[in-house]
Amino acid sequence: MAVNKPRGNTQRQQEQKAAGSRLRLSIDWDGIFASPKSTLAWGIFFMVLGLVMEVSFVSYIFTGITDQSVIDGIREESIRDAGRQTRNVLGVLGATISHIFVYRWFGISAILLPVIAVLGGWKIAFGREPYSLSRKTKEVVFFLIWGSVLMGYVVLMSNQESSLSFISGGMGYAINVILFDWLKWGSIIPIIFALFLFAVYFYDFRDTIEQWQVKNAVPDPVTVEVNDDATVSTEPVAEEKEAVKPQEPKYVSVVNDTYDDLEEEKEEVVEEVEPVAEEIEETPVAVSAAEPVMLSVEPVVAVAQPAKVSVPGVLELEVEDTMVKEPEEFVVEEEDVNASILREFGQYDPTLDLPSYQFPDVSLMNEVFENAHEKVSHDELEGNKTRIVDTLGSYGINISKIKATIGPTVTLYEIIPEAGVRISKIKNLEGDIALSLAALGIRIIAPMPGRGTIGIEVPNKNRETVFIRSVLSNERFQKSTYDLPVILGKTISNEIHIADLAKMPHLLMAGATGQGKSVGLNVILASLIYKKHPAELKFVLVDPKKVELTLFNKLERHFLAKLPNSGEAIITDTKKVIFTLNSLCIEMDQRYDLLKEASVRNLKEYNAKFAQRRLNPERGHRFLPYIVLVIDELADLMMTAGKEVETPIARLAQLARAVGIHLVVATQRPSVKVITGLIKANFPARLSFRVTSSIDSRTILDAGGAEQLVGQGDMLLSINSEMIRLQCPFIDTREIEDVCDFIGAQRGYDGAYALPEYEGEEGGEGKSEVNVDDFDNLLPEAARLIVTHQQGSTSLIQRKMKLGYNRAGRIVDQLESIGVVGPFTGSKARDVMFMDLSGLEEHLRVMGIN
């Protein structure tokens, strides 16, 4: 058995030495290529390579004919001589690579090739794509070949092979020779047809055609009837109004730099629009009417505001509100824009928030020590078998077959009694069998569901420690595609039990003190951290015992969520727990609003739609990470706060699964006062370590058995009324520390993920007090920006001030606390409380903020 005892310093030093010597011997190539410095170096290398190629190719177009003979004769001459003779600006190297790419292969279209090297290098270096790399690659590859073939046609037709063959390259020329045999001069037809096919499939002209159709489908000129016979054509006005057709909203991921470009474009358009709108107001309509008349004007085109057409001295023409294009009418256009943004920029990738983030490696965990001796000896097995058969026999129960399965902690003996034996009789003998086996923790499962046998679990004399490293490196976990994969333990048949917390959807854990709850929680947290990127998952950690989860503090800027301005991210104070739970309820409600607005049913669909750029960040949409709330000791909270804690927990447990908020709640005392009916009803998945009485076992699992467990991570999982015995893996404090250090040392977000502010009934601590010193120093600038744009949105601050989402969100919360913007209103931008900058400046002065 692997003894689970703390390792001494000497042992650790020896391990470190051993690790050190291994390091010296083997070079970690993966690490070298994956480190941020190397990616930057490689990226720049490829960009420079691209530039070198480009310069050589362009130079070769002018100097190639002279250089060809030098390159051909390079074997006879020394490189130095060849270098002197070549005329390429990049010498013999430039001439050689150009000779291969231009002369031998692609002709002058080779000048497109370096584009891929530069774009690829940019992506490697900066983790971003200024243009979609895969799209540009396809485009370049097509034009490289197509251009070469087209030039080949020109060369062949002009009969100038000797002087012009470099423009087509060897490939284009050879293809044309084949085509010429078949089609003579008509070989241009398949060449042009290839371009046509590519253009149709690649550029998808449908949008342009539709737009063209819309443009040409201008309704009949508006006619204004005056006094029966006077007809005034307003065609010019209609044309001008056409010019003020509002632009489709354009948006892309805030991560993309190009967002600003689009914004600027949009602003330019708006600027263009305004003067035209004014012109419309002033456009005189020449109407000569003796007396005021009623005029009717059909809606013609969309204008941003109701336009007033004034006819000086005679009448005023009110163009009705119907001319304002309703938001629903934008939907179709918006979808077209979404599609083109998606084509241009590809899917939104939240992990690009932290592009250089590296997942922790299993090597951070302790080595797995194999058991020195057999887990369960043959003698032990045989002895137990005989004793079971004898004990049952002495009560008149004969057995036809017995089979043993050795698990990490217990061995399962499955027996098939002879016909006519009542199951309840065997179940009642539990105590007697335990006595005869002289073992604690015997559990009888009668009958074994779906097996047609009766199971007797007998603890092994030498139990096996399940090391966290062995389960994290297990292929099933590595390849798991669950949304929130959590390792719970090893089953009796030595398989790893992985559950999807997203489906569970919440987990209730109980166990008497010292039976392995905290280790179990740490294993769950570690498995999530090993599989999820910080952009996809946030933890809210509640630790009333103050010592169990403190190590995770280092993950604040990566994985933790907290109330704004609330100091430590790990919540230990009961009052703060109440505020955080209520804040999570607000987050849940806000997420539901966003889901409703997006017409989707759950977080997965929502995020998929957002990734496809079908949800507009300008309307408050954002990528929603999963949130896992972990409470290490519920009993303590229930004793001190009762209903105040129970109600939000029950609410979250009831409703939060669809919006990606999941709960893992542990308690030492599984009494009905702690695990109330309300809480229990909403936690279908329950896990119990050893408890002190069968009453406690029934409270948590609705069945006895947890009091028979043998401790040290031995546990029972009840899920959908199925019960599984598992051995929880072991993770020690140092391992958690190493993982947290590894992640904590990497670049993270500006701060923890900000939960919405919660104002307690007495306006208590959840709401940050208006303390000017705590405010972000960019707050006045942000306030001015919001008032200038009259738009209370976080994304505006993010974009214009180039801030991360969390910091921008915090600033908006602070602006709300000083009354510059109104409260959060779901998916719409917040109200701006000041109409102009002078009012705002006065307010900031009074508040003492400059």
Ligand X SMILES: Nc1ncnc2c1ncn2[C@@H]1O[C@H](COP(=O)(O)OP(=O)(O)OP(=O)(O)O)[C@@H](O)[C@H]1O
What residue numbers does the annotated binding site cover?
511-518
Contact mark string toward ligand X, 638..657, x via CB under 6 A: --------------------
| CB 714 to ligand X: min, Å | 8
Query: Binding segment for ligand X among 361-369, 394-402, 722-730, 778-786 (CB under 6 A)?
Result: 722-730
Query: Binding segment for ligand X among 245-253, 474-482, 511-519, 619-627 (CB under 6 A)?
Result: 511-519
Looking up tokens 């170096």 gives 41
**Total binding residues for ligand X by CB under 6 A?**
16
Q: Rounded to an integer, what distance in angstroms lies between the CA atom of residue 138 and that of residue 196?
A: 15
Contact mark string toward ligand X, 577..616, x via CB under 6 A: ----------------------------------------
| CB 702 to ligand X: min, Å | 21
DSSP 422: -
| CB 631 to ligand X: min, Å | 13
* Closer residue to ligand X, CB minimum distance, 184 or 373: 373
Binding residues for ATP: 511-518
> Which token pair is 647?
């109600």
Q: What are phi and psi for residue 32, nearest 5 degrees?
A: -60, -45
Q: List the one residue from 233, 296, 363, 513 that touches ligand X (CB under 6 A).
A: 513
For 849, counting Cβ atoms within 10 Å of its Cβ (0-12 exposed, 13-18 middle, 19+ buried), the class is middle
DSSP 199: I
* Closer residue to ligand X, CB minimum distance, 514 or 764: 514
Q: Rounded to an integer, what distance in angstroms lies between the CA atom of residue 731 and that of residue 469?
A: 8
Q: Any bridge partners for residue 401, and if so which?
A: 416
Contact mark string toward ligand X, 429..468, x via CB under 6 A: ------------------------------------x---
**Residues in contact with 370: Cβ distance below 8 Å, sequence separation at least 6, in sequence order:** 2
Query: Binding segment for ligand X among 296-304, 357-365, 380-388, 513-521 (CB under 6 A)?
Result: 513-521
Looking up tokens 């057995």 gives 399
Q: Rounded to an integer, what distance in angstroms lies between the CA atom of residue 632 and that of residue 640?
A: 15
In the Cβ-directed half-sphere of 206, how many Cα atoms lie within 13 Å?
8
Q: How far is CA 162 from CA 95, 129, 159, 166, 399, in A?
A: 18, 41, 8, 9, 96
Q: List the one residue from 447, 514, 567, 826 that touches ligand X (CB under 6 A).
A: 514
Looking up tokens 């030495």 gives 17
| CB 134 to ligand X: min, Å | 45
For the segment 728-757, give every residue that binds ligand X (CB under 6 A).
728-730
* Closer residue to ligand X, CB minimum distance, 341 or 519: 519
* Closer residue to ligand X, CB minimum distance, 549 or 833: 549
Give the residue among 426, 418, 429 at the shortest CA–CA distance from 448: 426
* Residue 519 interacting with ligand X (CB under 6 A): yes
* Closer residue to ligand X, CB minimum distance, 519 or 796: 519
Report the chain's terminal Cα–Cα distance, integer Å: 67
User: What residue type is assigned to position 444 of the chain?
Assistant: I
User: What residue type is assigned to position 382 of the chain?
Assistant: E
Q: List the one residue from 43, 169, 459, 511 that touches ligand X (CB under 6 A).
A: 511
* Closer residue to ligand X, CB minimum distance, 517 or 799: 517
* Closer residue to ligand X, CB minimum distance, 116 or 509: 509
Is-contact 64 103, C-beta < 8 A? yes
| CB 441 to ligand X: min, Å | 15
Q: Rounded to an integer, what distance in angstroms lies between the CA atom of residue 823 and that of residue 246?
A: 29
| CB 549 to ligand X: min, Å | 11
DSSP 503: T
Query: Binding segment for ligand X among 19-27, 356-364, 510-518, 794-802 (CB under 6 A)?
Result: 510-518
SS (H, E, C) 608-668: HHHHCCCCCHHHCCCCCCEEEEEECCHHHHHHHHCHHHHHHHHHHHHHHHHHCEEEEEEEC
Q: List the one residue from 136, 443, 490, 517 that touches ligand X (CB under 6 A).
A: 517
H or E segment to which residue 561 belongs? strand 561-562
> Which token pair is 727?
């051995």
Query: Binding segment for ligand X among 27-35, 400-408, 723-731, 841-849 (CB under 6 A)?
Result: 723-731
For the segment 665-704, give every residue that binds ligand X (CB under 6 A).
668
Q: Rounded to an integer, what distance in angstroms lies between the CA atom of residue 689 and that of residue 726?
A: 10
DSSP 516: S
DSSP 219: P
| CB 666 to ligand X: min, Å | 8
| CB 712 to ligand X: min, Å | 4
* Residue 713 interacting with ligand X (CB under 6 A): yes
Q: List the one residue from 120, 127, 169, 516 that touches ligand X (CB under 6 A).
A: 516
Contact mark string toward ligand X, 343..382, x via CB under 6 A: ----------------------------------------
Query: Binding segment for ligand X among 193-201, 565-573, 725-733, 757-765 (CB under 6 A)?
Result: 725-733
* Closer residue to ligand X, CB minimum distance, 511 or 809: 511
Q: Rounded to an integer, what distance in angstroms lies between the CA atom of residue 722 and that of residue 708?
A: 18
Q: List the one residue from 1, 2, 4, 362 that touches ligand X (CB under 6 A).
A: 4
Give the 3-state secondary structure of residue 486: strand
Is-contact 527 485, C-beta < 8 A? yes
* Closer residue to ligand X, CB minimum distance, 121 or 516: 516
* Closer residue to ligand X, CB minimum distance, 594 or 666: 666
| CB 546 to ligand X: min, Å | 12
* Closer residue to ligand X, CB minimum distance, 95 or 468: 468
SS (H, E, C) 82-146: HHHHCCCCCHHHHHHHHHHHHHHHHHHHHHHHHHHHHHHHHHHHHCCCCCCHHHHHHHHHHHHHH
Q: Rounded to an integer, what distance in angstroms lies between the CA atom of residue 87 and that of residue 69?
A: 11
| CB 35 to ligand X: min, Å | 34
DSSP 289: -
Cis amide leading into 485 (omega within 30): no
* Closer residue to ligand X, CB minimum distance, 175 or 715: 715
Q: Rounded to an integer, what distance in angstroms lies between the CA atom of residue 748 and that of residue 556?
A: 9
- Determine the residue with CB nearest ligand X: 713
User: What residue type is assigned to position 732 of the chain?
Assistant: D
Q: Any bridge partners for residue 730, and if so which?
A: 467
Integer-rounded Cα Rg, in Å, for the chain is 37
Give the 3-state secondary structure of residue 194: helix
Q: What are phi and psi for residue 454, nearest 5 degrees?
A: -115, 130
Query: Binding segment for ligand X among 27-35, 190-198, 342-350, 507-515 (CB under 6 A)?
Result: 507-515
* Closer residue to ligand X, CB minimum distance, 516 or 766: 516
* Closer residue to ligand X, CB minimum distance, 517 or 686: 517
Q: Rounded to an integer, what distance in angstroms lies between the CA atom of residue 622 and that of residue 606?
A: 9
For the segment 464-503, give every residue that binds ligand X (CB under 6 A).
465
| CB 385 to ligand X: min, Å | 27
Query: Binding segment for ligand X among 191-199, 429-437, 516-524, 799-807 (CB under 6 A)?
Result: 516-524
| CB 198 to ligand X: min, Å | 60
| CB 137 to ligand X: min, Å | 49
| CB 678 to ligand X: min, Å | 24
* Closer residue to ligand X, CB minimum distance, 376 or 709: 709
Contacting residues toward ligand X, per CB under 6 A: 4, 465, 511, 513-519, 668, 712-713, 728-730
